[in-house]
Structure 1
Amino acid sequence: MKKTAKLLTLALAALWVAACQSPEAKTPPVRKVLFAIVDGIPADVIERVNTPWIDSVAAQGGYTRAYTGGEKGSYSESPTISAVCYTHFVTGTWTNKHNVWDNGIAAINYHYPTFFWYLKQQYPEKKIGIFSTWEDNRTKLVGEGKSETGGIKMDVHVDGYELDTAAFPHDPASHYIHLIDERVSEEAAQAIRNDAPDLSWVYLQYTDDIGHQFGDSPQMDSAVVIADHQVGRLWQAVQYRKDNFNEDWLVYIVTDHGRDDKGYHHGGQTPRERGIWLATNDKNLNTYFHERKPASVDVLPTILRFLDVKAPREYQFEWDGIPLSGNVSHVFKTATLQGDSLSLAWEALNTEGNLTVWLATTNNHASGGTDVYTSLMEVPVAAGRAIIDISEYPSDFYKVVLESADHTANRWVIRESTR
């Protein structure tokens, strides 16, 4: 009996010592995100060219074709132009909201903020970083230091090299862009290893430049191989952090747009120009990712969910995307108006629970105001459709939101006579 008691005491003591020596065993890992855009690589190209580093990211989570450009032929149709497409990713909205129509970024609407803003609003102590071959991503799209963005400041930034023509003299072949991509990816990898911002955005440009010059070609294939090697630097840095620190990393490697049928141009609405792809290490991908065709706007709610950011409800009502991981209940398919009869249709991804249908007759959010939403009804998710009399809410414009316990989805409805 004494021997048993002694052994029990020793066992408890050993457990206590182990607990004291391994605090990380009881501490949840710190969540961090790396989001990287490699510009203008069509899905058929990334699938054909040997890209072992991007493949290794996807092997831990998944790869899927996706789309950009909004809903073709509707109010959300958006040009498949680079800066426009970056903004879809980082704001979770289409051009009808964020108002970036070309690479000039002349009148961006900061009332649809970036994922950096949401993170800093809830966790001001968290660190954000941008590593970009194009400085405008920080100064214009993120709006660093601008009053309209609350003076948001990046904790780490590496960019502006394209303006340093002494160190990177410009040449017609865009070799200087390749050199800048190399520098940016090297410094980003070093920053991840040493400082590990909580949310990092990396942007690499060379593949788009080569596509414009050579179209679908051996040169484009070679540029993709180079980009993959640069992604490898980032991925190895993430692996280093995971191996040596108590951190859990979500990584998304994406392209912003496709190209036309010959690979030279983009900007239009052809399937290849609208076609993009997503590669991620996310181990919690849902049915929507695996069995549907996601969109670029889905990345923001996915990242914020992973980082446990609870965005204000009125901002969530504006997001055009839904999460690619975790629970999702519905995809909002159509909202049409015939007289005062509002017809809604959605695809139920989870037949449990209800949806709340919200209606607003204003778009005050676009100018920094507040939209007053009316709860019209609750309906089972499994129903898949609803028809509602909205004669009590006369307007030429409506915003409709379907809200479940998991997420929101929205559509605009504009009376035909006012289009």
Structure 2
Amino acid sequence: MLKYIPLILILLITKITLSQKKNVLLVGIDGLQLEELAKVKTPNFDKFNIKKGFNGGLLGTDSQQVTSSGPSWVTVLTGVWTDNHKITSNSSNQVSASKSVFNFIKTSNSKLKTASISTWKNINLLLYKDMYLVDFSTQGGLDDNSTKIAVDLIEGKGLDFVFVHLDDVDHAGHAHGFGEKYSKSILKMDENIGYLLKATEHRNKNFNEDWLVILVTDHGRDSKGFGHGNQTISEKSIFVGLNKKGNSFFESVNNDKKINAIQELEKQTIPQTAVVPTILKYLNIPIKKEWKLDAKPLID
């Protein structure tokens, strides 16, 4: 009789695993340069598998866009470049011509619950056509407040998809460039990442959920860390981090390989447009051709 116990245990474990609810937390970190992140001790960032990526569309094509926050965050949340979403600057007097991940999720399964917590209010304004589909949203405020709201929502409500945008690193860059104050802002960001991770771990442990956590930044910075917007290698360099193993494409990216040209960056790293299909894949939402997403998922 005892020889059948291991099989029973395997079946029970398999059943529990299969019944876990899938949830996604997307943490948008404004203006964080990957190379500067590597200079600071960040125990919570270190829990992620982080790979270099690129923003700004493809150089010399209709998809090329300025490496500014407005077009970049809309790309992150729609999965397409500017030739589709039509956002060309940070001005809130624009509206995305493309649907966002919030729309894809809700129209695919109206029972799924979402939240968009944006320290920089323009993100939600640029996507305002889809905001009526979001179950909870905030615009503006401070990073600590946005983090607390996200933690409370995750711990108390679960939700299926939560986007939280954090802005302090970008502010430090614009004010001081790279250096001590920029590094301190990264340390503070690491604390907030820790709070968010604890919230997802609480749900995993107590509610049989399985949270995919994605980190992404919108743009890199110029050589001194003050500005961005142009098509330079450093300004186009971003990163995507996963708390789970990625697929072969994701894992194949070599962060240590020196990039000598923008074309190399675009061919050898992860496009910013890969975030949306990754979210949809994890939530088991079929990706439709009419969405015209510009990349494939980073997970199998």
Q: What is the TM-score of this pair, normalised by structure 1?
A: 0.63
Alignment of 1:18-33 (within 5 A): 25=16, 28-33=19-24
For residue 388 of structure 1, what is the aligned residue in structure 2?
none
Q: How many residues align?
A: 281
Ranked by relative contact order (alpha carbons within 8 Å, sequence separation 6 or more), the top structure is 2
**CA spacing shift, 1:26–1:219, aligned 2, 3 Å:** closer
CA distance in 2, matches of 1:289, 1:204: 26
Q: Does 1:322 align with 2:284?
A: no
CA distance in 2, matches of 1:130, 1:24: 32
**Residues 373-409 of structure 1: CA deviation (Å, up to 9, x unaligned):** xxxxxxxxxxxxxxxxxxxxxxxxxxxxxxxxxxxxx
- Alignment match of 1:185 (pick from 147, 165, 176): 147
For residue 101 of structure 2, what is the aligned residue in structure 1?
115
**CA spacing shift, 1:135–1:24, aligned 2, 3 Å:** farther
For residue 231 of structure 1, what is the aligned residue in structure 2?
193
Structure having the larger proportion of residues in strand: 1
For residue 288 of structure 2, what is the aligned residue in structure 1?
312
- Alignment match of 1:106 (pick from 93, 96, 119): 93
Q: Does 1:294 align with 2:241?
A: no
Which of structures 1 and 2 has the bigger CA Rg? 1
Q: Does 1:137 align with 2:123?
A: yes
Q: Does 1:154 align with 2:134?
A: yes
Alignment of 1:36-185 (within 5 A): 36-56=27-47, 58=48, 62-110=49-97, 112-138=98-124, 140-143=125-128, 146=129, 149=130, 152-161=132-141, 180-185=142-147
Which stretches in structure 2 are left out of the alignment for 5+ residues?
254-267
**Residues 278-336 of structure 1: CA deviation (Å, up to 9, x unaligned):** 11112243234423411110111111111111133222xx211111111xxxxxxxxxx
CA distance in 2, matches of 1:89, 1:289: 20
Contact kept, 8 Å, 1:105 with 1:141, in 2: the verdict is: yes
**CA spacing shift, 1:187–1:310, aligned 2, 3 Å:** same
Contact kept, 8 Å, 1:117 with 1:152, in 2: the verdict is: no
CA distance in 1, matches of 2:14, 2:293: 38
**Residues 7-51 of structure 1: CA deviation (Å, up to 9, x unaligned):** 79xx99xx7xx97xx997375211100001111011111111111
CA distance in 1, matches of 2:87, 2:240: 22
Contact kept, 8 Å, 1:32 with 1:250, in 2: the verdict is: yes
Contact kept, 8 Å, 1:38 with 1:253, in 2: the verdict is: yes
Q: Which amino acid aligns with 1:136?
A: N
Contact kept, 8 Å, 1:258 with 1:276, in 2: the verdict is: yes
**Residues 260-286 of structure 1: CA deviation (Å, up to 9, x unaligned):** 011100000110000001111122432
Q: Helix, strand or coil for the counterpart of 2:123?
A: helix
Q: Which amino acid aligns with 1:134?
A: W
**CA spacing shift, 1:212–1:194, aligned 2, 3 Å:** same
Q: Helix, strand or coil for the counterpart of 1:203?
A: strand
Contact kept, 8 Å, 2:78 with 2:100, in 1: the verdict is: yes
**CA spacing shift, 1:219–1:125, aligned 2, 3 Å:** same
